Chain A
Amino acid sequence: MKTRKLTNTAVLAAFSLAIFVLESHIPPLVPLYGVKLGLANVVTLYAKATLGTRCALAVLVIKIFLGNFFAGSAVSLIYSLFGGTLCFVVEMLMFRIVEKRQIWAVSVTGAIFHNIGQIIAATILMGTEKILWYLTILVPVGILTGTFTGICAMYTLKATEKIHDRR
Chain B
Amino acid sequence: MKKIIPLLLCVLLFTSCSQDKKYERTVFSMDTQMQLTVYGKNGEAALDKAEQEINRINEKFNISNIEKITAQEDEEAKALIKTADEINKSTNGAFDVHIAPVMRIWGFYSAEFGEKKHRVPTADEIKEALDAKNERIYLDFGGIAKGYCGDRVVEILKNEGIKSAVISLGGNVALIGKNPDGNPWTVGIQSPFGSELYATVTATDKAIVTSGDYMRYFEENGQRYHHIIDPATGYPVNNDLTSVTVIADSGTYADAMSTALFVMGKEEAVKYWRGCGDFEMILITKDGKIHCTQGVDIKTKKELNIIK
Asked whether any CB of A lies within 8 Å of a CB of B in the complex, the reply is no
Instruction: List the interface of chain A (C-beta within 8 A of B).
Output: none
Instruction: List the interface of chain B (C-beta within 8 A of A).
Output: none
